[in-house]
Amino acid sequence: MLGVMVIRLSDDKKPPGPRKEGKGDRQTGLVLDERTRTKKPPMYKVLLHNDDYTTREFVVWVLQSVFHKNETDATAIMSHVHTNGVGIAGVYTFEVAETKVTKTQHLAKAQQFPLQLSIEPTES
Protein backbone atom coordinates (compact mmCIF):
# COMPACT_ATOMS: atom_id res chain seq x y z
CA MET A 1 0.00 0.00 0.00
CA LEU A 2 1.26 3.44 -0.85
CA GLY A 3 1.95 5.86 2.01
CA VAL A 4 1.51 9.58 1.81
CA MET A 5 4.00 11.95 3.37
CA VAL A 6 2.65 15.29 4.53
CA ILE A 7 5.15 18.12 4.72
CA ARG A 8 3.94 21.24 6.48
CA LEU A 9 5.58 24.42 5.36
CA SER A 10 5.73 27.41 7.66
CA ASP A 11 4.26 30.56 6.13
CA ASP A 12 7.59 32.06 5.15
CA LYS A 13 8.61 28.89 3.23
CA LYS A 14 5.41 28.73 1.23
CA PRO A 15 5.46 30.01 -2.30
CA PRO A 16 3.69 33.35 -2.60
CA GLY A 17 -0.03 32.80 -2.76
CA PRO A 18 -2.52 34.93 -4.58
CA ARG A 19 -1.88 38.61 -3.99
CA LYS A 20 -4.00 39.93 -1.13
CA GLU A 21 -5.57 43.26 -1.72
CA GLY A 22 -5.64 45.95 0.96
CA LYS A 23 -8.68 47.82 2.18
CA GLY A 24 -8.00 50.75 -0.13
CA ASP A 25 -6.61 54.22 0.27
CA ARG A 26 -8.86 56.49 2.33
CA GLN A 27 -8.43 59.41 -0.05
CA THR A 28 -8.31 57.82 -3.50
CA GLY A 29 -10.28 54.59 -2.95
CA LEU A 30 -7.46 52.74 -4.79
CA VAL A 31 -6.95 49.13 -3.71
CA LEU A 32 -3.25 48.18 -3.67
CA ASP A 33 -1.24 45.05 -2.84
CA GLU A 34 -0.73 44.78 0.96
CA ARG A 35 2.83 43.48 0.48
CA THR A 36 4.01 46.45 -1.53
CA ARG A 37 1.88 49.23 -0.01
CA THR A 38 4.18 51.51 1.99
CA LYS A 39 2.90 52.24 5.48
CA LYS A 40 3.70 55.57 7.07
CA PRO A 41 5.19 55.29 10.55
CA PRO A 42 3.37 56.89 13.49
CA MET A 43 4.59 60.46 13.99
CA TYR A 44 5.21 62.41 17.19
CA LYS A 45 5.27 66.12 18.02
CA VAL A 46 8.14 67.45 20.10
CA LEU A 47 6.61 70.16 22.31
CA LEU A 48 8.58 73.02 23.81
CA HIS A 49 7.30 74.50 27.08
CA ASN A 50 7.71 78.05 28.28
CA ASP A 51 9.48 79.01 31.49
CA ASP A 52 10.66 82.27 33.02
CA TYR A 53 14.41 81.55 33.08
CA THR A 54 15.59 80.06 29.78
CA THR A 55 16.76 82.88 27.52
CA ARG A 56 15.03 83.54 24.22
CA GLU A 57 18.45 83.41 22.56
CA PHE A 58 19.10 79.87 23.85
CA VAL A 59 15.68 78.61 22.66
CA VAL A 60 16.26 80.08 19.18
CA TRP A 61 19.74 78.53 19.10
CA VAL A 62 18.36 75.08 20.10
CA LEU A 63 15.65 75.30 17.45
CA GLN A 64 18.30 76.07 14.84
CA SER A 65 20.98 73.58 15.90
CA VAL A 66 18.89 70.60 17.07
CA PHE A 67 15.61 71.05 15.14
CA HIS A 68 17.18 72.50 11.95
CA LYS A 69 14.91 75.55 11.76
CA ASN A 70 16.05 78.69 9.98
CA GLU A 71 16.41 81.84 12.09
CA THR A 72 12.99 83.21 11.05
CA ASP A 73 11.09 80.01 11.90
CA ALA A 74 13.09 79.43 15.09
CA THR A 75 12.30 82.96 16.30
CA ALA A 76 8.59 82.54 15.43
CA ILE A 77 8.38 79.19 17.32
CA MET A 78 10.18 80.65 20.36
CA SER A 79 7.84 83.68 20.40
CA HIS A 80 4.79 81.42 20.08
CA VAL A 81 5.94 79.33 23.05
CA HIS A 82 6.77 82.45 25.08
CA THR A 83 3.26 83.85 24.44
CA ASN A 84 1.14 80.68 24.52
CA GLY A 85 3.03 78.46 26.96
CA VAL A 86 3.67 75.60 24.55
CA GLY A 87 4.53 75.06 20.88
CA ILE A 88 5.75 72.49 18.35
CA ALA A 89 9.50 72.31 17.76
CA GLY A 90 9.02 69.60 15.09
CA VAL A 91 7.29 66.35 14.10
CA TYR A 92 9.32 63.12 13.86
CA THR A 93 9.27 59.36 14.24
CA PHE A 94 9.45 58.30 17.91
CA GLU A 95 13.18 57.54 18.00
CA VAL A 96 14.15 60.80 16.31
CA ALA A 97 11.81 62.76 18.59
CA GLU A 98 13.33 61.09 21.69
CA THR A 99 16.88 61.79 20.52
CA LYS A 100 16.15 65.48 19.93
CA VAL A 101 14.50 65.80 23.36
CA THR A 102 17.49 64.13 25.07
CA LYS A 103 20.01 66.32 23.20
CA THR A 104 18.11 69.49 24.06
CA GLN A 105 17.76 68.50 27.74
CA HIS A 106 21.54 67.97 27.98
CA LEU A 107 22.27 71.30 26.29
CA ALA A 108 19.83 73.12 28.59
CA LYS A 109 21.21 71.43 31.74
CA ALA A 110 24.76 72.38 30.76
CA GLN A 111 23.64 76.04 30.83
CA GLN A 112 21.48 75.53 33.95
CA PHE A 113 18.27 76.34 32.08
CA PRO A 114 15.06 74.58 33.23
CA LEU A 115 13.76 74.18 29.64
CA GLN A 116 11.10 71.46 29.39
CA LEU A 117 10.13 69.37 26.38
CA SER A 118 7.59 66.62 25.82
CA ILE A 119 6.55 64.15 23.10
CA GLU A 120 2.96 63.72 21.91
CA PRO A 121 1.58 61.44 19.17
CA THR A 122 0.06 63.17 16.12
CA GLU A 123 -3.56 62.46 15.10
CA SER A 124 -2.83 60.48 11.92
Is 59 an interacting residue with respect to ligand TYC (CB under 6 A)?
yes
Q: Among residues 32, 43, 51, 73, which is the contact residue for ligand TYC, using CB under 6 A?
A: 51
| DSSP bridge partners of 121 | 44
Name the burial class of residue 43, with classes exposed (0-12), middle (13-18) and buried (19+) by CB atoms within 10 angstroms of its CB.
middle
User: In the range 100-119, which residues lie near ligand TYC by CB under 6 A?
Assistant: 115
| DSSP bridge partners of 47 | 88, 118
Q: Which is nearer to ligand TYC, 87 or 92 (CB)?
A: 87
| DSSP bridge partners of 92 | 44
Binding-site ranges for ligand TYC (CB under 6 A): 48-52, 54-56, 59, 78, 81-82, 115
